[in-house]
Structure 1
Amino acid sequence: MTPIENRGQLLRAVANLSAAAVVAVATLLVGTMGPSRAGEIPTFTVDAAWPKPLPNNWILGQVGGITVDGQGHIWMIHRPRSLTDDEKGATLTPPRSKCCIPAPPVLEFDADGNLLRAWGGPGEGYEWVGREHGIEVDERGFVWVGGNAENDNAILKFTLDGKFVMQIGKIAPSKGSNDIGQLGKPAETAIDKDADEIYVADGYGNHRVIVFDATTGAYKRHWGAYGNTPSDDKQPPYDPKAPASQQFANPVHCVKIAHDGLVYVCDRINNRIQVFRKDGTFVKEWFFERNTLGNGAVWDVAIWPDAQQRFLLSADGENNEIRIINRQDGTVAGSFGRGGRNAGQFHWVHAIAVDAKGNVYTAEVDNAKRIQKFRLTSDALR
């Protein structure tokens, strides 16, 4: 049955319902249909068998980032040091149990869940981060990673096989939100391939987006909330009744670039997405679940892969859901997920990515320590 036939069947049934039930059905229809036709809104089902079991007795820790490359391969970075003794019992002296061994921090999977590559950790010529956070794979075949431990004020660039290429910033104390060389616990990166620039959501320590040349590492520009000069002045705790903050809160948790040049920034604890042009000019902002406290409602964003990039998918790790947002006006077209640890549920859904076929990949931190795949079930790529 088509979505239109479903809608007609529901409407015909309204005549036999009580007044209260009529209101409930009408609310359901509006929430389902949104500003787009139902068949055009992305819907998903969880693939509980993805990914396939890891080899070598490996186990994942907290997952600090996930992304999809140009081949449709899924890359993730996790935190081996977040594993508890009972999880990594096979590595203890003497061994506590038969399982398990921490997997290398960076792993690459194909769309079927097969592990293709694994590498990462300390090595010669660079400073590895203290707590892994964020991963991006650019179209030139380089992998960018970062961290958010106390002095993780750098991002690292590697080849696909894990050969070190370049480091921007240092594993050393931050110098603040207006320093042009040192970072501040960066959360995520995005590549503008045409300009050969890397955008950094910077981050857990600083209050800005900063842009560098992706080949040389040279500084280009930076900005704070509303495109203003960022400040490191102490900010009051988030209050949904207070005027909107004029600064990004910590963390500035994501940055994404659409084909039309708009730049989307996750101001996580302020429960908003701010939109900019590439030069840092402020365009607009959208708020979501404004009463959310704790760790905030806007953790990550992925851009829908149709030609018009009609939707944003936004991970909300406090409310543990994925929102489907109309990119034109910021209205919410739908959502999926809820709190829990079963397949298809979330506990601190931390990062999100989408492949060219509309399949969604999610990463969780805290004690969930997993990645999940959600297959597209609607005709939303036309």
Structure 2
Amino acid sequence: MKKFATCNAQAVLKAGLTGLLLSTLATSALAQRGAVQPEAHAGQQPINNLPNPYETQRSFGSLPDGRSWGSVSAVDIDPDGIHVWAGDRCGSNSCANSDVDPIVKLDPNGRVVESFGANQIIWPHGMDVDADGNVWVADARLANARELEANPDAANRGNVVLKFSPTGELLMTLGTPGEMGDPPTHFTEPNDVLVAPNGRIFVVETHSAQFQDEPGPNAKSRLTIWEADGTFVKSVGEWGFEDGQFRSPHSLGMDSQGRLFIADRGNNRIQIFTQDGEHLDTWYQ
């Protein structure tokens, strides 16, 4: 799914009677949120029983040397609109003890035409391919104790956002490999990355926050903004249930109006922001 999508303009309703308009808007807002508090929404299981217009092709894509696919959550479309990029977790659910290339580019027939990233990534979770074809990867965790016992060198990887050229040259690293912390020098489990048309970079953290019951070191839950050259702008958001708060902001998208859509996984909702980090709206299913 491409991260930039076209949205229809919202309809604007005009009413002659102010009282009637305010009443209608209040009723609509309550209906959208289900007339319950955000904490209650977080515990509800979303229901989507609409027809699926897409057909799943489960056999698409063959990896080199007969490799089997591992877990894959990082996928994006190349600017040419034809090729597909994916971040494979090296045939399992981690690349900590593997020396294969986790980042692959596939042609329309599912053949790998480019690959890179060996011994540079632990857990590819989110991906964005910018307008110049550069591949951005959110490496969302550190090597665990078992993985470090098998491969001590894995201690120097993970918990960063990496920018690669289309041929695999490492161009930029945001965060400090192998360490956790706060921007601008560190991340805490970066889930996804998105590069806007103007080059501004957006990163969301923290993967473990969806499992936390209260704020803490593993519940940062924030959006961080960077300029195109990697200059830190600011971080916004924190763990919580209210508008502008998150419980594991998990994925990013941007519409044709330049609005930033954030999948707030632990709260079962989508939040919408400006590119300066101002909260605009919250959507519930």
CA deviation vs aligned residue, 1:182-220 (integer Å, no higher than 9, x gap): 2111111111122x1111112325311111123x21112
Please give the alpha-carbon distance, in whole angstroms, between the structure 2 residues aligned to 1:120 and 1:136: 15
Aligned length: 209
Partner of residue 79, structure 2: 70
Partner of residue 198, structure 1: 201
Question: Is contact 1:67–1:76 with CA below 8 Å preserved after alignment?
Answer: yes
Please give the alpha-carbon distance, in whole angstroms, between the structure 2 residues aligned to 1:42 and 1:79: 28
CA deviation vs aligned residue, 1:83-104 (integer Å, no higher than 9, x gap): 69xxxxxxxxxxxxxxxx9852
SS of the residue corresponding to residue 167 of structure 1 reads strand
Is 1:131 aligned to residue 145 of structure 2?
no
Partner of residue 227, structure 2: 213
Please give the alpha-carbon distance, in whole angstroms, between the structure 2 residues aligned to 1:102 and 1:164: 17
What residue identity is the alignment partner of 1:70? P
Query: Normalising to structure 1: TM-score of the pair?
Result: 0.50
Give the unaligned 5+ runs of structure 2.
1-48, 144-157, 208-217
Please give the alpha-carbon distance, in whole angstroms, between the structure 1 residues aligned to 2:113 and 2:124: 20
State the shift of 1:271 in Å.
0.2
Identify if the C-alpha distance between structure 1 residues 42 and 261 changes in structure 2 by more than 3 Å, giving closer, same or farther.
farther
State the shift of 1:173 in Å.
3.3
User: Over the residues paired in the alignment, what is the CA RMSD in angstroms?
Assistant: 2.7
Please give the alpha-carbon distance, in whole angstroms, between the structure 1 residues aligned to 2:68 and 2:230: 34
Please give the alpha-carbon distance, in whole angstroms, between the structure 1 residues aligned to 2:245 and 2:59: 42
Greater share of helix residues, 1 or 2? 2
Please give the alpha-carbon distance, in whole angstroms, between the structure 2 residues aligned to 1:167 and 1:82: 25
SS of the residue corresponding to residue 269 of structure 1 reads helix
Please give the alpha-carbon distance, in whole angstroms, between the structure 2 residues aligned to 1:168 and 1:83: 23
State the shift of 1:55 in Å.
3.4
What residue identity is the alignment partner of 1:247? Q
Select the residue among 269, 276, 280 that pairs with 1:279: 276
Please give the alpha-carbon distance, in whole angstroms, between the structure 2 residues aligned to 1:172 and 1:47: 36
Please give the alpha-carbon distance, in whole angstroms, between the structure 2 residues aligned to 1:130 and 1:279: 30
Select the residue among 18, 42, 50 that pairs with 2:60: 50
Question: Is contact 2:106–2:112 with CA below 8 Å preserved after alignment?
Answer: yes
Partner of residue 69, structure 2: 60
Select the residue among 116, 121, 126 that pairs with 1:119: 116
State the shift of 1:149 in Å.
1.7
What residue identity is the alignment partner of 1:157? K
Is 1:79 aligned to residue 89 of structure 2?
yes
Partner of residue 87, structure 1: none
Is 1:253 aligned to residue 250 of structure 2?
yes
Partner of residue 263, structure 2: 266
What residue identity is the alignment partner of 2:168? G
Give the unaligned 5+ runs of structure 1.
1-30, 33-40, 85-100, 123-127, 225-229, 236-242, 289-382
Query: Normalising to structure 2: TM-score of the pair?
Result: 0.65
What residue identity is the alignment partner of 1:156? L
4+ residue segments displaced more than 6 Å: none
Partner of residue 239, structure 1: none
How much identity, in percent, do the aligned residues show? 25
Identify if the C-alpha distance between structure 1 residues 83 and 155 changes in structure 2 by more than 3 Å, giving closer, same or farther.
closer
Identify if the C-alpha distance between structure 1 residues 54 and 190 changes in structure 2 by more than 3 Å, giving closer, same or farther.
same
Partner of residue 105, structure 2: 108
Partner of residue 140, structure 1: 132
Identify if the C-alpha distance between structure 1 residues 261 and 245 changes in structure 2 by more than 3 Å, giving closer, same or farther.
closer
Question: Is contact 2:244–2:279 with CA below 8 Å preserved after alignment?
Answer: no
Question: Is contact 1:58–1:102 with CA below 8 Å preserved after alignment?
Answer: no
Identify if the C-alpha distance between structure 1 residues 103 and 172 changes in structure 2 by more than 3 Å, giving closer, same or farther.
closer
Structure-to-structure mapping, 1:1-382, within 5 angstroms? 43-51=53-61, 53-72=62-81, 73-80=83-90, 82=92, 104-122=101-119, 128-150=120-142, 152-176=158-182, 179-194=183-198, 196-204=199-207, 205=218, 206-214=220-228, 216-224=229-237, 230=238, 244=242, 247-249=245-247, 251-288=248-285
* Higher alpha-carbon Rg: 1
Please give the alpha-carbon distance, in whole angstroms, between the structure 1 residues aligned to 2:107 and 2:227: 29
State the shift of 1:47 in Å.
3.0
Greater share of strand residues, 1 or 2? 1
